Structures are given as structure tokens and as C-alpha cells.
Amino acid sequence: MARRRRRIRWRPRSTADLLGAAAVALALTVALAQAASRLLTRAAAAWPLVVLICLAAAVGLACLRVRGSRRHRADNERLARLRITLSELDAMDDQQFEHALRDLLVRDGWAARRVGGGGDQAADVIGVRVPLGRIVVQAKHTRVGGKVGSSVMYQVNGTAGPAHRADHAVVVTNGAFTRDAMAWGDRHGVRWVDRNRLNHWAHEGKALHELLGLPARRARLPWRRAA
């Protein structure tokens, strides 16, 4: 049978015990009051420093916001004036070319991002603009005189709609396209930008959607196999 636990209760046995307990309680109360008083005194003495710290923090945050706003405005102004020559595009590598196409789309008012890389499913840059919809750009940086064939058009047509939900698909090169590639693209809604059109877009500043006559948002690209 479990033993009952005895509760220990302190009971004063005499008046002296009561006086001793009262003295201890009074001492603790006085000590706590003195500690609180010291804290209040220190806080009162330090409040100017606290105010200065708060003001400095507020000024710092305001400066960061102003600096970020200025940088954002400067970036927008830079992109608005962006002009890239064909010789500059020719000197780029594949990634630099993709970043340049993204910047050109941003200049034209698209919310664009570079997505090129392994497993990009024939999309190096994707952009969105109301009311034009969603655009997928496949970049083909070649040596001067290089040509892009029909196989690229087949690939872009097969992924732009199903994989990227695109309203428009465009293949851009600093070279040229074969006749078959251009004809196939025209028939199947895959637009192309060759060296001549690229010069109008990148160097002369004509917006891509105006250059290609992109319509407002419409039905998605046809999900069909390339013929």
C-alpha cells in the first residue's frame, strides 16, 4: 500500500518566528524596490542615448529605402535607353546573349526572366505583359553566318504551349534561319528573329511585340506534333 506523502508546512512556533519572517520579507521587498529604482534611474539617464539610437536606425532605414528606390529608377532608365549593337551581341557567349534578350524584353515593358540552362525545355527567356500574355524566347547564339534549322522550330513548338503555357513563341538568333525553318515557323505560329530583325530590336530600339506584330492574349499555342 502506497504511503501518503506528508506535506511540509511551516508554522511559526512563537512571536519571534513571526517577527523573523516579517523581517526577511521586508528585506526582500526593500531590495527589490532598490533594484527597480536603480533600473529606473539608469533608464532615465540613458533615454537620450536610446532616442538617438532609434533615430539613427530610422535614418538608416530611410537611406536604404531611398538608395534602393534610386537604384531601381536608375536601372529602369538604363533599360529604357538600352541599345545593343550586333557586334556587341556577336561578342557575347550563350548566357550573356540570353541575359541581353531578357533585358531587351524588360526595356519593352515585359516582366521577363532568364530561365535557360539544363532542362529548360526550349525556353531561355520567359516574359509576361498585359494584354499580350506570355512569351517564350529560345536564344540561338551562333557564329556570324551561322544558320538555325527547322529542328529548333519543331522543339519550340512542342514545348512552348504544353510546358510553358505560352501565348507566343519566338526563336532569336544573331545569325540567320534556313528557308525551311522560316516557312515552317510562319505556318505553325513560331516567330523568328534573324540578324536583320535583331538589329531593329536591339540597336534601333523597336519593341519586339511591335516588330513581330504580336496580338493581344489569345488561345494558347496549338498543342500538336510538328509535321
| Backbone φ, ψ for residue 158 (5° rounding) | -80, -15
With a pLDDT cut of 70, the percent of the chain lying above it is: 78
Could you tell me if residue 5 is inside a domain?
A: no
| Residue 90, pLDDT above cutoff 90 | yes
Predicted confidence band at 64 (pLDDT cuts at 50, 70, 90)? Answer: confident
What is the average pLDDT across 19-43? 79
| Backbone φ, ψ for residue 23 (5° rounding) | -65, -40
Candidates 95, 137, 96, 136; CA nearest to 118 is 95
Range of the domain at 42: 14-81
Candidates 96, 91, 135; CA nearest to 116 is 96
pLDDT in tens, 151-161: 999 999 999 88
What is the average pLDDT across 89-110? 96
Match 524566347 to its residue by C-alpha cell.
137
- Top mean pLDDT of 8-22, 52-66, 182-196 is at 182-196
Q: Which SS3 state, helix, strand or coil, does residue 204 take?
A: coil
CATH number where 134 lies: 3.40.1350.10
Query: Domain count of the chain?
Result: 2
